[in-house]
Amino acid sequence: MAIDSRTKKLANLVVNYSLAVQHNENVIISGSTEATDFITALYAEVLKVGAHPVLRLTLPGLGPIFYKYAKEHHIKQYPDIFDYTVKHAHKYIGIDTESNTREMSSVDPRKMAERGKIVRPISDYIVNEKDKIRRCTVGYPCLALAQEAEMSLHDFEDFMFSAMLQDWQKLSSEIDHILEIFKQGKSVHLSGKNVDLKFTIHGNKASADKGEENMPGGEVFMAPVRQSLQGWIKFDYPAIEQGNEVSDIFLEFKEGKVVKAKASKNQKVLDAMLTIDENASYVGEFGIGCNPKIRKFTKNLLFDEKIGGTIHLALGMAYKENGGGNDSAIHWDIVKDMRRAKIILDGKVVQENGKWLL
């Protein structure tokens, strides 16, 4: 069966635009069988530019099996072989698909968190060591994610490809304008329906995702000053953690720390996330969605955090490129609709009801 032409275009975009793969580089392609056509297209594109594809494939259902049968030494064993592979690669492509979005919902979240601490140095290296390796996380349509988005697979394919196969030079220029405004900023006030939250930011270290680290891209993000958050926020959209949907999250902050946390569904998961370590209850990222092609919440964070007219806060780890200031085993993004609220920067309204006033 022939590969969809949009799949081939996406592979070309990731290899040549997002990662600018060069001759003789080692390129890890990490994905599962839901993305077989895409993996095949990426493999071909990597070869076309003279680089070396390194496949890291998995199968649906292996995650629950691991946590069901893993002994203590399995949880605590550092994956030296994968570490070696990553340290000898130049580019990393991670493909975001699912066969069953709920397959991890019955796994002990603390066991997953413990394993996460063990393997974290590898993900930190991939994310932070940009002079040694460049990565791109890529969305790809599959049936399980279409079901989560409450869309037919055909409509979901159209939605995803539309968000990714667009004019990135034009969108990058628009995002850069927003980025420069926040690079000059210091204090942020989110005010309106279900939010009254103030904090200061490391504005001069704000960054933008223009489809190079994630596809789709489309956000401006920065690190709040760790102890600066004061106020409260109620999130309109649920946060998903290993198949667990945490709904109607309410967070109150004092001196940067969450002092009250409520959820209408999966309160235990919210409590577990906030207590994974001492910094999990502080915010490591403030992001603003800027992708005009993403208008619908799909329960897929790679897309949802880019919805135009939304913001997201990430509990836990702050990226080094943003100034750091909070080190944690988690980086948990939660999205809020701002289309009935304002973003105020240094006393000036820069966005109201989801519309930029720049």
pLDDT in tens, 61-89: 999 999 999 999 999 999 999 999 999 99
Domains of the chain (ranges; CATH) run 5-164 (3.40.1830.10), 168-356 (no CATH)
Q: What is the dihedral of CA 319, 259, 249, 156, to 10 degrees?
A: 0
Q: Containing H/E element for 53?
A: strand 52-58
Q: What is the pLDDT of residue 126?
A: 93
C-alpha–C-alpha distance, residues 143 and 157, integer Å: 10
C-alpha–C-alpha distance, residues 138 and 153, integer Å: 18
Q: What is the pLDDT of residue 106?
A: 83
Could you tell me where the DSSP H helices lie in the chain?
5-13, 36-48, 62-69, 72-76, 80-87, 109-128, 143-148, 153-164, 168-183, 267-274, 301-304
Q: What is the pTM of this model?
A: 0.90
Q: What is the pLDDT of residue 1?
A: 67
Rg (CA), the chain: 20
**Average confidence (pLDDT) per 10 residues, the chain, 358 residues:** 92 98 98 96 98 96 92 94 97 95 83 87 90 96 95 97 96 96 96 97 94 97 95 94 88 96 94 91 96 94 95 93 85 95 97 93
